[in-house]
Amino acid sequence: MASVETEDNVVKMSDVILELNAASRQAGVAAKQAALQAFVDETVARELGRRPGAPKSPELDGQLSRWSCSRCGSRRKGDLSYSGTYSRRLVFEEGPGELAIPRIRCACGGNVKPDFGVLLPKRKRLWYDLELAAVELHVEGVAYRGLKRHFARMGSDVGIGSLSRMLARFADVDINAGVEGDFVSVLGADAAFVRVGAGSRAHYYIHEILPRQR
């Protein structure tokens, strides 16, 4: 049987599509990761009164941070110092990412736990864009296992238990906007009735967090 000859410059369309999709996902993760990293760095610089490597000024002793030492309780910016960073992993809709979170020490040797508010809550692994994508897909009829496979194709391992708890939290959201501190929870217009469990139904609302002044 004669062999089939092909030109050297033949390109498989499937390979091109896979490469473009991978590049698109990487760009999405990089953009969101950079935006959140800038937010973290700006927040820490504001609470400490300076950026890493910058000398302390005498004026910082008279300024107070919102954050306090876990040992002595000091909030004086002059007592707070940068002490390296640690990695915090986040999972976005397009795949996993990583942030460098500054470690902060007090002059007494105690730790200072940073608080980044609603944009980056403590112990939050799945970020909001992934949660909203899961809700939108589930509203369209994609089951938990289908959601798990969808995010696996993005390179993210999202467990069925996490998806179940995530969607259950959205089921508890009502139509009233809540005010807490400097932020207002603004509910969007997208909503739909979906099946949750055997015979039960829930109303999911897509919402976002905006500064109170907006």
The 10s digit of each residue's pLDDT in 97-134 is 999 999 999 999 999 999 999 899 998 999 999 998 99
Mean pLDDT of the chain: 82
Given a cut of 60, whether residue 176 has pLDDT beyond it is no
AA identity, residue 95: G
Place of tokens 């002490």: 83
Given a cut of 70, whether residue 89 has pLDDT beyond it is yes
- Express each pLDDT in 47-76 by its tens digit: 999 999 999 999 999 999 999 999 999 999
Given a cut of 80, whether residue 195 has pLDDT beyond it is no
Q: Give the per-residue pLDDT at 2.
A: 52
Give the whole-angstrom CA distance, residue 144 versus residue 147: 5
What's the rounded mean pLDDT across residues 181-188?
Answer: 48
What's the rounded mean pLDDT across residues 1-24?
Answer: 74
- Detail the DSSP E strand segments found in the chain: 80-92, 95-106, 111-112, 179-180, 183-195, 201-211
* pTM score, whole prediction: 0.74
The three-state secondary structure class of 98 is strand
147, 158 contact by CB (below 8 A): yes
Given a cut of 70, whether residue 190 has pLDDT beyond it is no
Give the whole-angstrom CA distance, residue 24 versus residue 9: 24
